[in-house]
A and B are shown apart, each in its own frame.
Chain A
Amino acid sequence: MKTMKLTLAAAVLAATGWGTTVTAATAVGPICDAAARVGSTTYYSCSGSSHNALDISNGTCSVWNHRGMINVSRHYAYYGGCANNCSGGTSCNGGAGNYYVVSGGSGWDFRQLHLNSNGSSRSQTCDRCALGLVGSTGNSTGAHVHADNRQYGTRKTAWYTSVGTTCGTNANCSNRLGTPTL
């Protein structure tokens, strides 16, 4: 009954000009390699200091494509300008390195950080396309993909905890890692 009421409310709001409702998207792994694993979640390495995001790696640098994680077509806005790097430790783009942002409604966004750029690295609208290479630009301690889901700049964790993603979860691109709000 509650679901029906919410559905009706959403329909009424949409019909009266509320066109930017937030929705739960699905995020899959960013690397199409069976060796890709989640290395950090709410805490670095699942036991260190606060992180509130996913770090994903397959142990390589500048070899594998860093792909868009949202499994429908979305606009990925690119913020580049950092020299490719496999060890990190720079403050380029505030520590984010080369990165992409998918902007949702009501202050929500989904970011993918630290990629090494290549010919695919530009703002684009696509479905799980190649965005660059898995790299370590910005404040990073080795090649990986950092993925976070924020509202008004605050990182949220429910998008991955709700589906059981934790350290060691296989992050191949066919696997669902979370349901970010956008």
Chain B
Amino acid sequence: MVPVSMKQAGRAALLVVLTSLSPLAARGEVAIRPAQCTVQGMLDDVRQAMKHGSPALKRYVKMRLKEAALAMSAESLLAAWQGERDPEVLEALGAALATKASNTGAPGLIQPLLARAVGDADPALRAAAVRGLRGVPSVEFMEKNGGVVTYEQLVRDASPEVRAAVAENLVAESADVYSGHDRGVSEAAVSVAAASEDPAVAAKLLREVSMEAVGHEAVEQVTRQLRSENPELRAAAATALGGVPGGEAAGARGSLVDLYRDDKDPAVRKAALQGIARLGQSQAASVLESLRGVDRSMDAEIDAWLNVLKLNLQEWELVLREKQRLRR
């Protein structure tokens, strides 16, 4: 048997010979060299790709880091995390740590992300730390870390970039991790919207997070947002009420009818009609009919909903698509 060291020496010698014979070497160009797979080496690749790479390369290096992190030691990743100051690299590293936490059932691994999300002086780095939590069960992880840092706290950040990252995380978590079915994430989104002083962020949360599993208290929180001074937020709350569970439908429908009658903003009224249509689907026709004439300019919108509901489509996605085909 040939000793391992001799084998390695042989391979190295062969590599030298092949390199010297290669056309690249003959032309004086840099030959491809085998790279050592370390955290720092991979982070350098991420750094280079973020500066000069195509979108596909950027996705690739981030994905590669995330996959490699599953096999790397947590200590090496955490050491790199502490010293990193580039927001894009920090986000990629955070995503790798969060994925490792999700894979190993170790929510404590995200504590450095939470600490940075609240404590870093640079708002770009705080936002990057928040974005690093996207696509993992971050609401559950925050609870398991003692609730010391929550999205309700992060959404009050002075930086709009951090607040936007909070909304994007919750929207993505509800849709991508739970397909909209998780009560905890949906109710967290409602609470964060209530805690937010940024109406655009609150509106995004209510408009885009699924409400299919929320409880009564969350429905009441959403209903209170119908009295917001901001029309975008009122419209988003109306959209959210359209998606509440069946047991909450009667109360929500009443709130939306009142909203349609009292609110003068066309976008809010349009959202109220959509909410009513979604809550009742085929049974919504009589309610919509009763609202004809409240605002003549909206009667065409009511007609469009009535025409769609007559089709008896079985899924809300199909109903909404057909409505948008008839009238945006």
Encode contact with A along B254-296: 1 for CB under 8 Å, 0 otherwise: 0000000000000000000010001000000000000000000
Encode contact with B along A75-102: 1 for CB under 8 Å, 0 otherwise: 1000000000000000000000000000
**A74, B136: Cα distance in complex, Å:** 8
Partner-contacting stretch, out of A13-21, A36-44, A45-53, A161-169: A13-21
Of the four ranges (under 10, 10 to 19, 20 to 34, 35 or more), the interface on chain B belongs to 35 or more
Of the four ranges (under 10, 10 to 19, 20 to 34, 35 or more), the interface on chain A belongs to 20 to 34
A16 touches B320 (CB 8 A): yes
Contacts of B103 in A (CB 8 A): 126-129
Encode contact with B along A116-146: 1 for CB under 8 Å, 0 otherwise: 0000100011111100000000000000000
For the complex, would chain B's binding face be called helix, strand, loop or mixed by DSSP majority? helix
**A15, B212: Cα distance in complex, Å:** 17
B179 touches A103 (CB 8 A): yes
Q: Which of A19, A104, A128 contacts B208 (CB 8 A)?
A: A19
A13 touches B320 (CB 8 A): yes
B175 touches A125 (CB 8 A): no
User: Which residue of chain B lies nearest to A68 when distances are taken between CB atoms in the complex?
Assistant: B103
B239 touches A16 (CB 8 A): yes
Most buried by A among B104, B212, B242, B278: B104
**A15, B208: Cα distance in complex, Å:** 7
B317 touches A104 (CB 8 A): no
Interface residues of A in 4-38 (CB under 8 A from B): 9, 12-21, 23
For the complex, would chain A's binding face be called helix, strand, loop or mixed by DSSP majority? loop
A154 interfacial contact with B, CB 8 Å: no
**A14, B321: Cα distance in complex, Å:** 11
A182 interfacial contact with B, CB 8 Å: yes
**A182, B178: Cα distance in complex, Å:** 10
**A12, B328: Cα distance in complex, Å:** 10
B residues apposed to A, CB below 8 Å: 70, 99, 102-105, 135-137, 140, 171, 174-182, 207-210, 212, 239-240, 242-243, 274, 278, 315-317, 320-321, 324
A residues apposed to B, CB below 8 Å: 9, 12-21, 23, 72-75, 103-106, 120, 124-129, 182
Q: Which 5 A-B pairs have the closest CB atoms?
A: A20-B180, A125-B137, A127-B102, A17-B239, A73-B102
In the complex, 17 of the A-B residue pairs with CB atoms within 8 angstroms, ordered by the A residue number, are A9-B321, A13-B317, A13-B321, A14-B208, A16-B274, A16-B324, A20-B179, A23-B176, A72-B177, A73-B137, A103-B179, A124-B105, A125-B177, A126-B102, A129-B102, A129-B104, A182-B179
